[in-house]
Amino acid sequence: MKRMLSDFAGRARCRAAIMLIATAFPAAALANSATIGRTWPIAEPDALAEIEAQAARQPANMAASFGPRSGWSAMQSAPLATVIQDRTRYVVPFYTLDQEIRLPDGRLLYPKGFTFNPLTYVSLPQRLVIVTPRDLPWALDHAALTDFILLASGIAGDADAITLGERHGRALFILEDRVKERLGLTHAPVIVRQMGQRLELQEVRVGTRAGAKASR
């Protein structure tokens, strides 16, 4: 009898709590159909509508406004000298911090001027094959599908990276000045791969016996 009274009292308290919640927070019971408080229309224009409106105002052929891709600054590659003799050299791509790095609590993690070798912490799973456009056929023949092919600047009249990529059905990348400096590149063609905590730069004179043996 005592247990039955206890259970009844517990159920009664539970029902009372549910009724209190429903009374104090009616939105909890009517959230799908009721509006609580004042509402105002959204003042900001729809972002997608803005984009579509801007696109509609652009000329049908924007390429004509920018001229040929050969003149675009974003398509300019870094220059490299032509390999005269096969050679293999090694570079450690040390990096020096130009500013200090602190933790969220203000403690100093690395001071400005701290120098380290990124290859101690990361690895390059693929090789980099760097050539000028005239040596691209050689690169396509010697690069594995996982390798990245980078184009150094060529001579006047060479097709750009986008045109060459579409022509050969392969993604091609532009050799930027910062990449040239970071990797210590001086000549092309060159195959760059990680060997432990340093980079191996295999400079190849195209057409030589050594060049024909350049590993994939």
Determine the pLDDT at residue 46. 83
- The residue with greater pLDDT, 141 or 75, is 141
Taking a C-beta distance cutoff of 8 angstroms, is the pair 191, 204 a contact?
A: yes
In DSSP terms, which residues pair with 190 in a beta bridge?
130, 203
Confidence of residue 159 (pLDDT cuts 50, 70, 90): confident
- The mean pLDDT value for 174-198 works out to 93
Determine the pLDDT at residue 55. 83
Residues 6+ apart with CB under 8 A from 8: none
- The mean pLDDT value for 148-161 works out to 86
Paired tokens of 209: 């016996």
Condensed to tens digits (0 to 9), the pLDDT of residues 91-134 reads 999 999 999 999 999 999 999 999 999 999 988 889 999 999 99
Confidence of residue 203 (pLDDT cuts 50, 70, 90): very high
Determine the pLDDT at residue 56. 83
Cα–Cα distance for residue pair 206/135, rounded to 1 Å: 8
Determine the pLDDT at residue 102. 93
**Alpha helices, H only, the chain:** 2-24, 26-30, 47-57, 63-66, 136-142, 161-168, 177-183, 209-212
Determine the pLDDT at residue 3. 45
Q: Residues, the chain, total?
A: 216
Question: Is pLDDT above 60 for 15?
Answer: no
Q: How far apart are the first and last CA of the chain?
A: 87
Determine the pLDDT at residue 125. 87
- The mean pLDDT value for 140-159 works out to 89
Q: What string of DSSP letters covers 80-125?
A: -EEP-S-EEEEE---EE-SS-EE-TTS-EEE-TT-EE-GGGT----
* Phi, psi of 116, deg, nearest 5: -150, 165
Condensed to tens digits (0 to 9), the pLDDT of residues 24-61 reads 444 444 445 566 777 777 777 788 888 888 888 877 77
CA neighbours closer than 13 Å in the CB half-sphere of residue 155: 4
Determine the pLDDT at residue 154. 84
Paired tokens of 192: 């760059």
Q: What is the mean pLDDT of the chain?
A: 80
What letter represents residue 180's amino acid?
K
Determine the pLDDT at residue 76. 82
Taking a C-beta distance cutoff of 8 angstroms, is the pair 192, 130 a contact?
A: yes
Give this prediction's pTM: 0.63
Per domain, the residue ranges of the chain are: 1-38, 71-212
Cα–Cα distance for residue pair 185/200, rounded to 1 Å: 11
